[in-house]
Chain A
Amino acid sequence: MGALSLSQLIDLVVGGLAIGCVYSLIALGFAMIMRATNIIHFAQGEVMMLGSMCGLTSLWLLPALPLPVVIAVGMASSGLIAVAMELAVYRTLRRRRVPIMNIITATVGMSILCINAARIIWGSEPLRFPELFATTAYDFGGVRMSPQLFWIMVMGVAIMGALQLFLKHTPTGLAMQAVAQDHEAAQLMGANLTRIMAYTFAISGMMAGAAGIMLGSMFFAFFEMGFITGLKGFVAATLGGLGSIAGAMLGGILFGLIETFSTVFLSSAYKDGIGMILLIAILLVLPSGLVGLWQKRR
């Protein structure tokens, strides 16, 4: 409590932004899947956890791997896992035209499956990442910043920027946008729905995989790490307005900042609760999330 010094404030903002980037990346996955299929993908956190585990495993095998490669490994493995889920289970469920609640429950089943598979493969102890970043603080004209948080922010922004470019300027990206708007119309225009869905899951998985490496390097990798973080990503996506890409990014950053600042002003025991209270409050004012702010007037 009490007044914060400027450097403390900056530390908090940077910490909040960095963890916010992680949430944004997970929230993006939720939002993209929500847009394309209308399902809440409860296994999104587990996709992230598996990416984190695979990245860590690659470091065990080749300790000299540079950070970008580790991130790439995490993204690739999470992407593949998410596509496998889509092709093996969700697509079949959609083809059988089962109710949406069944698909959502299947994603819970998927999440249980992943958590327990990870516990069998990697054990139940938290696993520490090797040092991936420089340990001496960067100095930006008197403002000191941890290299780890700095690079997480940079990479988070770069990945999200790349995603935006992909969605806006490539044929596949545009087709994904079209499918998200209207399945039937997109199909009439010649979009291959099955392929687009697979792409959607691949990209959502890659976002989660990047988040997994970042989160793992900040704390540690752990078979249950996807559970609470996945929920926070879902909350962030909802906060932004489910199904909106920009909303998900904003929601994630905002959630990270809220969470970080609430630990300063409130007992850390209720850290997770503050975000939830704010979330409920925001939803009461804007029943469809932050995107409602600029869509409401129409």
Chain B
Amino acid sequence: MSAATHGEGLLEVRAVTRRFGGLLAVDAVDLAVRRGSVHGLIGPNGAGKTTLLNLIAGVYRVSSGFLRFATDDITRHSTAKRARAGIRRTFQNLKLFGEMTALENVAIGLHAQTHAGFFDAVLSTPRHRREERGITDRSMAVLQFVGLAGLAQARADSLAYGHRRLLEIARAIVARPALLLLDEPAAGLNVTEAAHVSDLIARIRDDGTTVVLVEHHMDVVMRVSDEITVLNYGRRLAHGTPAQIQEDPVVIEAYLGRAGETDRAQA
């Protein structure tokens, strides 16, 4: 095993399988994500990357296998419970709260960290007022961090596409999660914007958040990942440092010689 410079395992995915009807979307995949690393997850279209991400986030339940996060078995936990435990994510097709301002979107990310309920709001208790101030301050700081401070009061659905991508990341990191799952954060971005996102991912890791990154932009993945796992047809094909992956003949074969692989898809 390489990349031994990183800390102990934060997330352990063991022999996780997910079936959709007759289709094996994820087939007995193992994945070990080290604390403080950026773990790239790549593979051709339909390799099962997003499905694996959804299994980690709790959107789907595993058909079989086991998920450990820090010291807890989270295999059966709901999405909200995992989010509250410190697993946050972004979505491939952007899921922002369009009618809210950018600031409010980020504030939603702090929901689990705060406690004021209906009655606090109605009675405007000191707790409520204190929390609201804290929420605003922290949310503004995160907007600053991703570079959207000037757009705090803009409605989310009025933002430019690149800004929406950044806003989703801001919402996901505002609560300082232990683990951040990024589902193609650079999809649809131009070279400059993609570079900004890779820079942002590195800064997020340096702030202490472990990152699992699904991404098609190879330059982004290769630049920021500490380790990379390659998936193909729902199986783990290879695992190693970016340098090792780039030279791995099996990986090159999977990406370049896809024609030879089609019969395996039927299996």
Contacts and interface: CB of A to CB of B under 8 A. Distances in A.
A298 interface: yes
Interface of B: 20-21
A297 B21 CA distance: 6
A297 to B, nearest CB: 6
Interface string A259-298: 0000000000000000000000000000000000000011
A150 B214 CA distance: 62
3 contacts: A297-B21, A298-B20, A298-B21
B45 to A, nearest CB: 20
Nearest to A295: B21
Contacts of B21: 297-298
Chain A interface size, under 10 / 10 to 19 / 20 to 34 / 35 or more: under 10
B77 to A, nearest CB: 20
B95 to A, nearest CB: 20
Interface string A196-209: 00000000000000
B137 to A, nearest CB: 35
Q: Is the interface of A mostly helix, strand, loop or mixed?
A: loop
B98 to A, nearest CB: 14
A44 B147 CA distance: 53
Contacts of A298: 20-21
B266 to A, nearest CB: 19
Contacts of A297: 21
B64 to A, nearest CB: 16
A245 to B, nearest CB: 22
Nearest to A298: B21
A287 to B, nearest CB: 16
A297 B19 CA distance: 10
A297 B20 CA distance: 8
A298 B23 CA distance: 9
A51 B257 CA distance: 65
A122 B98 CA distance: 50
B221 to A, nearest CB: 32
Q: Which 3 A-B pairs have the closest CB atoms?
A: A298-B21, A297-B21, A298-B20
A296 to B, nearest CB: 10
A298 B21 CA distance: 4
A265 to B, nearest CB: 39
Nearest to A297: B21
A276 to B, nearest CB: 29
A148 to B, nearest CB: 45
A214 to B, nearest CB: 39
A260 to B, nearest CB: 37
Contacts of B20: 298
A31 B20 CA distance: 27
Nearest to B20: A298
A171 to B, nearest CB: 31
A297 B63 CA distance: 12
A298 B20 CA distance: 5
A13 to B, nearest CB: 35
A68 to B, nearest CB: 44
Nearest to B21: A298
A176 B20 CA distance: 28
A128 to B, nearest CB: 53
A298 B19 CA distance: 9
A280 to B, nearest CB: 23
A298 B25 CA distance: 12
A271 to B, nearest CB: 39
B245 to A, nearest CB: 34
B241 to A, nearest CB: 39
B235 to A, nearest CB: 22
Interface in A103-162: none
A259 to B, nearest CB: 35
